[in-house]
Structure 1
């Protein structure tokens, strides 16, 4: 029996030292046993490496940043849809999710499906709201405060001890050992990501993560815990290994059940020497290490597409413990005509 073929658009093609999830998501989709794919890359910059991987991306279109406005972005998506007949879009950046969540109905009217958290789910897990989130759902979280002005920095000594973490609302986190460093990181983060900036208590321990997929009804379709083996200076996992940890899995399933989480997610946790787990962040989408979960036996990108299309994939019951990933650099060779085509025509 011939497998159906879906046209799936994917963002996050920046497979660099700060990798986006796009390419590992695509790898999972191409390994689906139940459907074939034509992959449409959606790129914000014309030097995103995924653009130049023909074995991964069949066609690439440049799209405007979400900051240009919903109408501008959706008009471009509608143009791409008129040429490609998209079935599903999988956005992979935190900064673009709000726009795509807001656009769900407009996209569905023209036949494009997504499978993303609701606005309420997206907002309540924001870093700025983590204290209230932990209290509401009975999860331990580090104490944090939101600041919007440099004048607030001097008051931090009343609430925190050094070192402490300085975080952006979307990305970036720096460990500060002094007020001067807090000032420096505050300026750097606010210039790049805007306000607010989040100050978070530093919890000592081992960083562990869980990738998961919720069906929007409270059920966990898949979940795989991982321990980072190597971390870059940007705080990104450059190597990791799947682990058996019932406590992490129970915490994940409880959160998905209580929040009725819809879509992919990543829980970032700190395991202390006392075997306590602190939730330091929830990323509301598939993380860049998703291919480790695929290799361990849970093809979460494939399951997400099925959910987006209204199917009911069965939950994964197991995964392979001790499966490792290690990232590496690789020189892609292209031609200036490719770069020129994307720069001039907005597609390649």
Structure 2
């Protein structure tokens, strides 16, 4: 029986030392046993490595940053759709999700499906709202405070002990040991991501993560916990291993059930020496280590596409414990003609 073929657009092709989820998502999609894919890469920059990786992307189009406005971005998507007949778009960056969530109906009206959290789900798990989120859903979270001006830094000593974490609203987190370091990180983060900047209590322990997929009805389609084995200076996992941890899985299932989470997600947790779990962040999309879940037996990118296309799914019942991933750098060789094509025409 001939398999159906979906045309799927994917962002997050920046497979660098701060990797986007795009390439591991594509790897999962290409391993689907139930459908074939034509992969359309959506790139913000013309040097994103995923553009040039062989057998990953069938066609690449450059798109404008979400900061240029929803109409400009979605108009470009509509043009790409006229050429490629897109079935599904999988956005993989926090900073672009707001635009794609807002544009859901506009995209659906022309036949493009997404499977993303609702705007309410997206907003309530923002780092600036994490304290209220923990209280609402019965999850332990570190104490945090939002600041919007350098003069607020001096007052932190009344509420926090050093070290503490300084976080951007979308990305970046730095451990600060003094007010001077907070000031430096505040300037760096606010210049890059804008306000607010989040100050968070530093919890000592082991960082563990869960990747999960919710169906929007309260059911957990899949969930795989992982412990980071190697962390870069950017705080990114460069190696990890799947672990058996029912407490982490139950925490994840409870959150998805209570919030009726729709789409992919990653829970970042700290496990203390007292075996307590603190939720430090919820990423509202598939994380860059998703291929570990695929290798462990849960092809979550494939499942996400099925949900986007309106299929009913049975949850994954198991995964392989002890599966490891290790990232590595690799020199891709391309041609200036490829770079030139993308730079001049916006497609390759």
TM-score in terms of structure 2 length: 1.00
Q: Number of paired residues?
A: 348
Q: What is the alpha-carbon distance in structure 1 between the residues aligned to residue 76 and residue 151 of structure 2?
A: 42
Task: Give, in angstroms, the shift of residue 140 of structure 1.
Answer: 0.1
Deviation at 1:313, TM superposition (A): 1.7
Q: Cα deviation per residue 1:279-301 (whole Å; 9 max; x = unaligned)?
A: 00000000000000000000000
Map 1:318-329 → 2, pairs under 5 A: 318-329=318-329
Shift of 1:53: 1.4
Offset from partner CA, 1:150-193 (integer Å, 9 cap, x none): 00000000000000000000000000000000000000000000
Between stretches 52-61 and 296-305, larger displacement belongs to 52-61
Consecutive aligned runs of 4 or more in structure 1 exceeding 2 Å deviation: none
1:233-292 deviation line (CA, Å, top 9, x unaligned): 000000000000000000000000000000000000000000000000000000000000
Aligned to 2:214: 214
Gaps of 5+ in 2: none
List per-residue Cα deviations over 1:324-343 (Å, max 9, x = no partner): 00000000000000000000
Paired with 1:3 and 1:185, the residues of 2 have a C-alpha distance of 51
Quote the Cα distance in structure 2 between the aligned partners of 1:203 and 1:317.
Answer: 32
RMSD over aligned CA atoms reads 0.3
TM-score by length of 1: 1.00
Residue 20 (structure 1) shift: 0.1
* Secondary structure in structure 1 of the residue aligned to 2:61: strand
SS in 2 for 1:210: strand
Alpha-carbon distance in structure 1 between the residues aligned to 2:280 and 2:71: 34
Partner Cα distance (1:282, 1:290) in 2: 15
Partner of 1:59 in structure 2?
A: 59
Q: Distance between the aligned counterparts of 1:81 and 1:15, measured in 2? A: 25
- CA shift digits 1:31-61 (9 cap, x unpaired): 0000000000000000000000130000000
Q: In the alignment, which residue of structure 2 is the partner of 1:193? A: 193
